[in-house]
Structure 1
């Protein structure tokens, strides 16, 4: 079976099922077999796509940075991810998981309290990804 437009690193799964099968004797040495076979084929291809594009980086002023609290107690909301929380509070997923002893960053409990710490970087402007 030909599969068009599939190139590169691929894998596939093939499932065949006999849906109907009939036979009849035509003569002493001949039989006729009719079968309906259903074929299900799944093709998987690894492709590379750019997920982030047009990322802009802005600098926080010294006043904006100093206005942020040193330590924040945050309650996880239903649609939160560590990425969203980190973006909002100018920190990283790694910092959040380390400070809050989070084993799996994909399993966040609604209402859980987490600590968010402000990092002080000397002689460098703190940058915020927007």
Structure 2
């Protein structure tokens, strides 16, 4: 008997996530084509399924984490042993990506106030404004009752970041 060729692929069947650990269970499927010596059917085929279980330590994950596994490169070696047996050796890799869910608060404070229509009515319809250090278009738009997009459009700006001493034309939006 003589081996012509072999190939393999890794299949991931299950991943069990616990604190700081992922257990990956799967199998390597190996296909071997060989030539028979004394048989009418000259070419033979064998398929082997080699199960594996591997513990992977990933600090910071827990059972609420999301984990994805993708088979990586696989090396397969097949050699003929005495007695017509085939010895299969393989080295499989699995690429893991783990993501932990966390909750964050983004709104720290909110206040509701009455709109002062009289003050808005008495404001100028068009205002010239020179930006200062730490000014943002959001704060300027809020102060002059307009929108950031209107300020960008009116002044032909491409970005909402402004440098100090930038001259802006602000049109009040009712």
The TM tier, using the shorter chain, reads 0.5 to 0.7
Deviation for aligned residue 1:71: 0.7
Q: Does 1:52 align with 2:115?
A: no
In 1, the alpha carbon distance for the partners of 2:158 and 2:103 equals 28
Q: What are the Cα deviations for residues 5-51 of structure 1, in whole angstroms up to 9, with x where unaligned?
A: 473489xxxxxxxxxxxxxxxxxxxxxxxxxxxxxxxx987866342
In 1, the alpha carbon distance for the partners of 2:173 and 2:135 equals 22
Structure 1 runs of 4+ off > 4 angstroms?
43-48
Between the two structures, name the one with larger relative contact order (CA 8 Å, sep ≥ 6).
1
Return the structure number with greater helix share: 1
Q: Identify the residue that residue 60 of structure 2 maps to in structure 1.
A: 4
> How many positions carry a matched residue from both structures?
87
Among candidates 105, 112, 122, match of residue 166 of structure 2 = 112
Q: Identify the residue that residue 95 of structure 1 maps to in structure 2.
A: 150
Return the structure number with greater strand share: 2
Deviation for aligned residue 1:67: 1.5
CA RMSD of aligned residues (A): 2.9
| Contact 1:73/1:116 (8 A) holds in 2 | yes
Q: Could you list the runs of 5+ residues in structure 2 that have no partner in the other structure? A: 1-56, 69-97
| Contact 2:66/2:99 (8 A) holds in 1 | no
Q: Identify the residue that residue 83 of structure 1 maps to in structure 2.
A: 138
Give the number of the structure whose alpha-carbon radius of gyration is greater: 2
TM-score, normalization by structure 2: 0.41
In 1, the alpha carbon distance for the partners of 2:104 and 2:144 equals 28
In 1, the alpha carbon distance for the partners of 2:134 and 2:99 equals 30
In 2, the alpha carbon distance for the partners of 1:9 and 1:72 equals 54
